[in-house]
Amino acid sequence: MKIHIHISTQTLELLDGNCNVLRRYGISTGANGVGEENGSYCTPRGKHVIRARIGAGQPENAVFVKRRPTGEIYTPQLGAQHPGRDWILTRILWLSGCESGYNRSGSCDTMRRYIYIHGTPDSTALGKPGSRGCVRMRNAELVELFDLVQVGTEVEIRA
């Protein structure tokens, strides 16, 4: 299995070992565009792997802070109580860069930037950039993807 993320079309594809597309999902990447520098809030490009799968068994809309479930379940009412909060919901696929000096090590390290594929509230627009650098997905689709991939799955992010 491999994942290809296409910034230009705001889609994520899951491919089998023969590069056949098994699933295609709408996503949202960084509102600031693409870039690898820490603090840029851009989505990093290049070759990555899934470093960690976080949240197995959590309910849809479970809220995560610092990769830990808070015990909260996202609702529109909770969202209204915390406007501006960057909601990380349901599951986390934490990415690690594979290209030294580009998206690994130093000030461009994807893992140290805490770049994830994660769930988002249903009211969040997908199909256009809007995140703080992560890749946002619909919660039900993320659960499906999460169950199909493992730690070490290759992820390529292309402009």
CATH code assigned at 55 = 2.40.440.10
81-119 pLDDT per residue, tens: 999 899 999 999 999 999 999 999 999 999 999 999 999
Average pLDDT over residues 124-151: 97
In which band, very low, low, confident or very high, does the pLDDT at 40 lie, cut at 50, 70 and 90? very high
Within 8 A by CB and 6+ apart from 68, the residues are none
- What is the number of domains present in the chain? 1
Domain that holds residue 143: 2-158
- Specify whether the CB–CB gap between 96 and 155 falls below 8 A: no
Q: What share of the chain is helix, strand, coil (3-state, %, to 5)?
A: 10, 40, 50
113-122 pLDDT per residue, tens: 999 999 999 9
* pLDDT above 90 as % of the chain: 99
Query: Amino acid identity, residue 154?
Result: E
> Which of 56, 57, 54, 78 is closest to 68 using CA atoms?
54
Q: pTM here?
A: 0.96
